[in-house]
Structure 1
Amino acid sequence: MKHKLFYIFFLLTLSISYAQSSMVKIEADTTNIRIGEQFEYKITISETENVIIPKLGNLKGLEVIDSLKIDTINSKLIKKYKLTGFDSGAFYIPRQQIFIKNQAYLTDSLLINVTTVAIDTTKIKKFPIKGIKGEPYQFDDFKIYVYWALAILLIAISTLYFALKRSDNSTSKTLIPKLAPYQEALRNLKLLDEKLLWQNNKTKAYYSELTDIVRNYIERELNVPALEQTTNELVESLIDFSNSKSIVTDKETIKKLKNLLQQSDLVKFAKSKPMAHEIEADRNTTTHIINNLKPSTTEENTETSYSKPVVIVQKPEIKNPNTITKLLLITVTLLIVTLISFGIYKAISLSNSIKQPVENVQ
């Protein structure tokens, strides 16, 4: 009876093992590899639905290089792995558990032999141990000095440029005696004649300066705001002063002044072009007006009796660098840049020549 039960149990176990082996199979393209050599490990499952393949694990001495995608061939699932080993010896790929329709199936284990590569040390040439070799200098070792040199160079050039462009900021004060109104008017008329404005077709500028000389003389000599008044206002003011005996003049002089100012207005605003003899006549009229417009002798005129000195502040002239100065600046700049570049080049060359490798240790 006991023998029958044993045979029945043995047959059941054998049938279960056969069923599992028929559902799940493993295969390797080789079971003997050298260190670092790859081989393919394949699991074949005779079912395509409701299959769960866990991650390949529990590998000792072996490593998974790649896990390929699952293929379906002839109603079978095929899962492939790329494995390798980096230690010599015999290593097992343990049994893997596969779930098919919520039922667990176990694969067979597989033995993989990893062998080393035989090396004949008697035929290998031995080399001495290499010494420590000095590392050559690179641009990064000097770039901070280059940046500082360029910054200093830029500051030096800027300072030199503005020093040449601007002179000393100090100002000087000079006391120059101020001319009397009559003397100033005659001097300005002489300077106007020397400019030859109307002779060079600058009639408008000529009449503008001519009437300004007359108005400035009247304002200083007679204390009349001639520069701010129109022609009619100025003429009326002079008539009033003449009637009140505040100035010494006659009606003919006032009439000539009115004609002169009106002629100037026509030239400046109506673009009138008087003839040469008319311009010369107006010039002579101006002298006549200045000679015949005087303050009353009973009225004190401080500007006529004497002239106070005027303080003239002389501003420093702005000196613009000429072409020679600019060329000199450019030459100096290029020279400094060349010297800096040459110094860096020599430093790198010297460092590379000095840093020799240490002698080989035998």
Structure 2
Amino acid sequence: MLKKNTFILTILFCCISLIQIPLQAQKATARVSIDKHEISIGQQATISLQVIAPKGRQIAFPVYPDSLVNGIEVLGMPKPDTTFAHEVMTITQKYVITSFDSALYHIPFIPVIDGKDTIKSNDFGLKVSTPPLSEATNAYLEHLKANPNDSIIFDKLAVNDIKPVQVPDFVWQDYLVYILGALLILLLIAAIIIGIYIYKKKKEKGYYFKPQIIEPPHVIALHALDHVKVEKLWQQGREKEYYTEITDILRKYIEDRYHVNAFEKTSDEILAIANNFMLADSSSDSLRQILKLADLVKFAKYKPFPDENDLSLVNAYLFINQTKLEVPVTEVVNEIPEKVVHDNNEPETPIDWTISDDDMLDEHKNK
């Protein structure tokens, strides 16, 4: 029984060895085919080199930098295509070729590296022929052979291109340099035009750009009062808004005209400071009437009479017109009298124009 089992195992091992030996001894094979066996000068053909080898083999195809053989140029070598089936791989490498010499070419083989071995493909041929010439062209060539001293007239030769000249696809990046150059030229022209315009404007008007017109405080205040007059707030029962706008306009005017923090002062404080600037009693009276009545309306809910509302707006106009800073005259007085003498021959008491630092705006302190 033991002998029988040993015999069976020996037979199995032998069978397995016989199966593995062909697999290990199998070599790669290479086969070449060409899609066109005959081409005209300048036409292209494709060579397909197919290698069948066991899976995992290191196969290396030849790389031709310029020519396959003398007279046949290699234009391209696409990426190889690989397929697998039953532990066998099939690799196909293509070569795009052309020729400009008419002849019958014979390629004996294309070598392929299989690991450490080199395998050779089958041979193949390629016929490159010149395009057929017309009878007129052949006759003219015969004439040139008989008269070699004659100059060639290409119209009579009637030799045309194999293919018409192809127009390449439009790619805007190819014209980027020209586009940038045109833009730079346009910018330069625009800069020259602007420079000429500015120069002429400077020469005619004395300035490059129109200066900003800064209106004096009294003009701004009078325009604001005109706007309040048009709004007719108190006629709509909005007396509080009416007096708020008038007092804000006057505070802004006093602040810009006399550089006093009028928005941070109470009505009494404004009147006390304003007394230092008022040359006419009517100015102080007008300002006092507006501020006192405004405080009653805003804080005591006082309902003023229509005449009081009109009077407040009139006094606001009067206060601004009496205290505005007029444009200085061209004539300058050489001497200013120290004392102003009235009709009663009594000197007028000088006005105290000093303002405390607390009442001045920050930008006018320490000047």
Normalising by the smaller structure, the TM-score range is 0.3 to 0.5
TM-score between both structures, scaled by the size of structure 1? 0.33
TM-score between both structures, scaled by the size of structure 2? 0.32
Greater relative contact order (CA < 8 Å, ≥ 6 in sequence) = 1
